[in-house]
Structure 1
Amino acid sequence: MTGDYAATVHGDPIPKARVSVFLNAGGTAPLRGAGNRAINHDTAAAARLHIAALSARAERQRQRWATQIVVTDELARRACAERGLAPPDEVLPMRLLTVPETAVADLGSIVAAALAHSPAARALLAELEREQHIPEAAVRDYYDRNRDRFLTPEALRRGVDPFDTVEPSDVLPYDHVREGIGQELRHATARRAFFDWLDQARADVVYAEGHEHPGDPSHPDHEHRH
């Protein structure tokens, strides 16, 4: 692979410029821990060097993170084409969006950001959700095991303990919540299918030095957080 490419997908190059454009569209996070306390010059110089090293490491990891977003977008576009889905209107929105913390917690920062930025990734996830069939027995089982989620407003006002004896009238009827449960289970199953697809699709991706996965232990800056 020449120096012009961040990665190859099935042998096709993804230019580094595509990653750079994506990165340059957003701001840079401020350094943390750089206070204004009075310290001697030697300590100040050492602190500056330490902060510079942390900053350089953060930028390298940011580049690797951005590469994953761009690669996921490319893989999703190819998957959409293979499935005959209408192609998204744009390759990748070239502005950094704010990703909700709840999405990051549920999906991880890479997948959450890819879904936020990539129309192709969202189209693929929507198609995977349409493909899911949730058996009636699974919906009913979820309802029976999670009665605390289906207390009536009146029961909630009275402080009914869902894990104690609950009157039938304190729980929303199954027929009233059945459709919502089914949608929630389809959504969760589709997300798992998306993760499985991405793991398989990334198997044939080759990354250039400096563009590896942020959690890849083969590079010294790697970090893997759950």
Structure 2
Amino acid sequence: MTEEYAATVHGDPIPKQHVEAFLSASAFRSAGNCASNHNTAAHARQHTAALSARAERQRRRWATQVIVTDELARRACAERGLDPPRDVLPMHLLTVPESDVADLGSIVAAALAHSPAARALVADLEREQHIPETAVRDYYDRNRDRFLTPDALRRGVDPYDEPTPSDIQPYEHVRNAITRELRHAAARRAFFAWLDRARADVVYAEGHEHPGDPSHPDHEHRH
């Protein structure tokens, strides 16, 4: 691998310029009017200058993982006969929900936000998931607090203080929504399992390793 490549996927190179373009597009921007606010601009320059070399290296490794995940997802979509958008990577800035970062980790959350192929793969995995009726019913029985009726919520009914049956939405009314939620969660788990397998054959250039790779001194066990 030459120094021009951030990684190779099954021997095919991923140029460093893809990582740099992603980093540039995903940089944080102030919502204020920086053009007319010299103090804000000066503060931004000071903040940029203060970023440690370690943080910059980890940010580049993080971005490499997002780019690699997109490439792996494109290959998986091709194998499955899926046809997501063909652009190399959408470079417009998208908002990554904080809940997704908490549930998925920042790498996967960012990949799903920025990669049409990754989203198409998750959707296809979701179609494959079979949720047994027993699992749906068990979820309903164990989470009655989530199914209070609107009237019970208005009256401030305590879901943990033996609410009456009339305060709980009937199983038949919420069954489909529960099934969709469980299928979505199962698809995300399947995506994680797929990604772990798919990354096994990726080779990274120095400085582009996984942020949690213990072989480099800056590693952090974060995803």
Once the two structures are superposed, the pairs formed by residues 35-184 of structure 1 within 5 Å of their partners are: 54-184=51-181
Once the two structures are superposed, the pairs formed by residues 210-225 of structure 1 within 5 Å of their partners are: 210-225=207-222
- TM-score w.r.t. length of structure 1: 0.86
What is the SS of the residue equivalent to 1:103? helix
- TM-score w.r.t. length of structure 2: 0.87
AA aligned to 2:127 is R
What is the SS of the residue equivalent to 1:106? helix
Distance 1:186 1:52 in 2: 45
Q: Do the aligned residues in 2 keep the contact of 1:90 with 1:119 (CA within 8 Å)?
A: no
Superposition RMSD in Å: 1.9
**Structure 1 match to 2:202:** 205
Distance 1:66 1:102 in 2: 20
**Structure 2 match to 1:23:** 23
Matched length: 207
User: 1:161 Cα shift?
Assistant: 2.0
What is the SS of the residue equivalent to 2:135? helix
Moved over 6 A (4+): none
Which structure has the larger Rg over C-alpha atoms? 1
5+ residue gaps, structure 1, are 31-47
| Cα displacement string for residues 156-188 of structure 1 (whole angstroms, at most 9, x for unaligned residues) | 222222222221111101111010000000000
| Cα displacement string for residues 12-64 of structure 1 (whole angstroms, at most 9, x for unaligned residues) | 1111111112112243589xxxxxxxxxxxxxxxxx9xx96852111111111
5+ residue gaps, structure 2, are 31-45
User: 1:96 Cα shift?
Assistant: 3.3
| Cα displacement string for residues 63-110 of structure 1 (whole angstroms, at most 9, x for unaligned residues) | 111100100000000000001111423221123322111110111000
Distance 1:201 1:58 in 2: 27
**Structure 2 match to 1:40:** none
Q: Do the aligned residues in 2 keep the contact of 1:91 with 1:118 (CA within 8 Å)?
A: no
Name the CA shift for 1:73/1:89 in 2 (closer, same or farther; >3 Å): same
Q: Do the aligned residues in 1 keep the contact of 2:70 with 2:89 (CA within 8 Å)?
A: yes
User: 1:123 Cα shift?
Assistant: 0.2
Deviates more, 1:107-116 or 1:150-159: 150-159
**Structure 2 match to 1:41:** none
Report the identity percentage.
80
